[in-house]
Amino acid sequence: MRILIVEDEKDLAAIIKQGLEEEGYVVDVAHDGEEGLYMAETYPIDVMVLDVMLPLMDGLTVLSNLRKKGVQTPVILLTARDALIDKIKGLDTGADDYLTKPFVFEELLARIRSLIRRKGTVKEAVIRIADLEIDTASHQVRRAGKSIALSAKEYSLLEFLAYRKGSVVSRTDIVEHIYNEDADMDSNVVDVYINYLRNKIDKEFSGKLIHTVRGAGYILKEE
């Protein structure tokens, strides 16, 4: 999943970025409102973490412009303000959630996961496909009761497919949402990781769950 952080406090932005990347997210960072607006309009962002007090363009103006242009990316507002009127204004402008500084990083993570679930068709914290279970909070994966160890990138790919279970996901969508800009979209990196997942998710179990749709992409579903 791809997260955009728009925060002018560079140390805080770096801490959030590092924490999210350790959780397997792809993270983009902007340090002013104009850059944040451009990135939110340009990149396929899953959740935007947006500070209110920003140079060049404040967060509420960024949010208002996005909503006027029809960009429906889920947004968590980050601010030092805790007055009720500020929260109301932010939510009325189109924010999906609101977090007051200082905050506990685990709460930000939980709110991000909640917005990702809300955005997709899967609403549960534990995603189930046949006998496969994916705990999106702990990143634990089990099939037929057996624990499966995945690398961070393997888990990110599986979770991305799981949130869209039953729907075909293109290779381009996968690259844009779970790989950074250094990834070569013409390479076979997606095919390689799909193969890694198949070896761990499907190979030793009854019933194939990861399917290739020729010319379209991949789908996670019961056979």
Q: Looking at the predicted structure, is the pLDDT value of residue 74 above 90?
A: yes
pLDDT band at residue 176, thresholds of 50, 70 and 90?
Answer: confident
Distance CA 75, CA 49 (A): 6
Q: Are residues 88 and 139 in the same domain?
A: no
Read off the pTM: 0.82
CATH number at residue 163: 1.10.10.10
Strand partners, 133: 128, 142
What was the pLDDT predicted at 187?
Answer: 63
Distance CA 156, CA 40 (A): 21
Distance CA 91, CA 176 (A): 28
Q: Looking at the predicted structure, is the pLDDT value of residue 120 above 90?
A: no
Helix axes 152-163, 171-178, angle to 10 degrees: 120
Q: In Å, what is the CA distance from 103 to each residue of 24, 100, 154?
A: 21, 6, 29
Q: Among 99, 119, 139, which residue terminates a domain?
A: 119
Q: Give SS3 for 204.
A: coil
Distance CA 109, CA 147 (A): 23
- Tens digits of residue pLDDT in 196-206: 999 999 999 98
- Higher-confidence position of 189 and 143: 143
Domain count, the chain: 2
- Tens digits of residue pLDDT in 11-40: 999 999 999 999 989 999 999 999 999 999
What was the pLDDT predicted at 40?
Answer: 96
